[in-house]
Chains A and B, each alone.
Chain A
Amino acid sequence: MEGLKAALKKEARAVKLDFAELKSGGFIKQIQKDLFTVRLRCPGGRLTAEKLRKAADLADRYGRGEVHISVRQSVEIPYVNYRYFEAVAAELKAIGWSVASCGPRVRVPTACAGCAYNPNGLMDTQEVCLEVDRRLFGTPTGHHKFKVSFSGCPIDCFRTREMDLGFQGIVEPKLLEELCNGCELCVKACEEEALRMVEGLPARDEGRCTGCGDCIKVCPVDAMVVARRGWLVRAGGKHGKHPLFAYEVANYVPQEQVFPLIERTLEWYRGCGEGRERLGATIARLGLERYLDEVIRPLPVEVIDDPRERRKFYAGGNLYGGA
């Protein structure tokens, strides 16, 4: 790596390489000498046709005519010689695009389709994901990477349990008893078997209800309605060689508290984190209570602080050997 850095510095004078651009990441060194993978910035995995065409075009002219779609929704162009970084960056900039980041920064946030068009979606994941990208992408954390994802519903396609901060759409149903006709379609719709008929009306087992809203969606007389809608927030997860499942820390968080929550978490992590640890390790070291007390409780959100409340969100199986 030292030899490459020296060579790059020498080249930089010649090719006027923007080192800031290089250091921000988005250019990932490959095995092959001088070759890098260009990681494009694709928040929420949504690209215009124009950007898609540009990626194909760049792959043809600077790569080897192919792209790789990363697990975190990025379109990546492998086999690009570092001599072309400036040209690639300029072409991206010309259409209002840029590369992603690596290193100890807020990464490109990821998201599912959300309620904009997915019938299961309970919250607009794409809108908030784009805003997180606009406002927080690339923010240095002082420690390690920071990944944020948005899942529109409890199916949790965007694996909020594996994120430093994950936001998962959730609703709280309520029954308008006078409108209920006892048809039991809500009981049928519920995959958690959280509803059963009691004296002609559906009664909910809160310990089983995951807030998916299927009962609300099916009710033919709109007796089952949304009492509250928001984000179930998870903190401290990570994937990698030593995965951690995140903790559910707040519920029904309204849209306007998303940024305060992320920004307070980043500030806390920046201040309390040590070395190259992820947020989850900081929480493990200092205790979840401290994170809840210092970050979540001061916000006007519903805190989840009872481990039993979290238990209903867990599946069985091999939870990485933990409890």
Chain B
Amino acid sequence: MPGAISMAGLDLRGVLCPENFVRTKLALEEMEEGEVLEVILDDGEPMRNVPRSLKAEGHRILQVQRLGDKAYKLKVLKRDRGAHG
């Protein structure tokens, strides 16, 4: 994505649903459209729930990277709600 800026990430390992989603959502709200947030999530429930909730909010997951056995790093592109249908 041209012009996308990578922000400092959120490490949400050990954070339970839905707090992990809420914190990600709030962080994204502070950002500009087109900026990228890195989020680290535990495998299991967080990975089952958070990506889908982010998609429902209109954001786009650009990349999913496995970190060892137990966690994943996501790159999330901030998109303004309603701008992308």
Contact = CB atoms under 8 A, between A and B. Distances in A.
Interface residues of A, number: 12
Interface string A277-311: 00000000000000000000000000000000000
Contacts of B61: 183, 185, 220
A229 B22 CA distance: 31
Contact of A220 (B47, B48, B55): B55
A188 B61 CA distance: 14
Contacts, number: 33
A219 B64 CA distance: 12
B75 to A, nearest CB: 10
B18 to A, nearest CB: 12
Instruction: Name the 9 nearest CB pairs between A and B, nearest first.
Output: A220-B61, A218-B52, A183-B64, A188-B47, A185-B51, A217-B52, A218-B51, A189-B48, A220-B60
Interface in B30-57: 43, 47-48, 51-52, 55-56
Of A119, A214, A217, A218, most B-chain CB atoms within 10 Å: A218
A268 to B, nearest CB: 41
A217 B47 CA distance: 13
Contact of A217 (B56, B62, B64, B72): B56
A264 to B, nearest CB: 38
A119 B51 contact: no
